[in-house]
Amino acid sequence: MKKYLLLVALTGLSACHSGYHLANRTANRIGVDSLTATADTSVANFLQPYRQGLDRTMNEVLTHTTGRIEKGQPNGPLNDLLTDALLQQASQRYGKPVDFSHLNFGGIRNNLPEGNITTGSIFEVMPFDNQLVVLTLTGEMVQQLLNHFAAGNKLVVGGLRTKIHDGKVQSVTFTNGRTLQPNETYTVAMSDYIADGGDNANFLKNAIRRENINYLIRDALIDYFRQQGKSGQPITPVTDGRISIE
């Protein structure tokens, strides 16, 4: 592939009482051909060990799937899998149960392929260095959070089931047996991006408590899939219908 650099020479700048003006210009096109350019072997040799190490890391097989796992709206197998994984890993890292988890739908950047799931696969799904945080919210704030994302049909949660009508959450049941009460408090594991007010969720800045647990969401997912791989059982794409539209 040949690319070009356009060199523009400005000549004949003449002065007048008000400053300078352009009197003449010339341009030359210089071809840059990637096929004929000579590689710098010293740089390539210097980078080779790093490239090999990166390849080994990214190509590590964590687990296997029986089919392609895709995200979807209002529900999708990938939505459920990732939020359940996040909830499990957050609870382990946090040291106590977390009521539910939340992921930004737009932050899920790729689907998972059929067959081998590698570390590189998880980087493609979650390429951002977002930190996992745990917020303590009142039931009223949880309702606001759910409604905020339900309105755009982008609610991605783990640890609860809900029904949505006209873009608003009508009922919430937590898988740990709790019910949503306005004056009670609940914990949610989520991205620092959303906790910081991303996707117009500025109300989360008023959380009762915010705890940073020094754990990248991507690392949490890698750890989860590695644990699944040790079980010897492949992952099957399935959604449990936790979010339904009425």
Q: What is the mean pLDDT of the chain?
A: 89
pLDDT at 195: 98
Q: How many CA atoms lie within 13 A of 137 on its CB side?
A: 27
Q: Model confidence over 169-224: pLDDT tens digits?
A: 999 999 999 999 999 999 999 999 999 999 999 999 999 999 999 999 999 999 99
Q: Model confidence over 38-47: pLDDT tens digits?
A: 777 777 677 6
Domains contained in the chain, CATH given: 2-56 (no CATH), 67-245 (3.90.780.10)
In this structure, what is the dihedral angle of CA atoms 191, 96, 76, 79, given to the nearest 10 degrees? Answer: 20
Rounded alpha-carbon distances, angstroms, from residue 182 to 20, 49, 185, 188: 69, 56, 8, 15
Nearest to 146 by CA among 189, 102, 194, 109: 102
pLDDT at 216: 98
Q: φ, ψ for residue 129 (rounded to 5)?
A: -85, 50
pLDDT at 31: 72
pLDDT at 143: 97
pLDDT at 183: 94
Which one is predicted more confidently, 208 or 17? 208
Q: Model confidence over 46-96: pLDDT tens digits?
A: 766 656 666 678 999 999 999 999 999 999 999 999 999 999 999 999 999
Distance separating alpha carbons of residues 223 and 233, to the nearest angstrom: 16
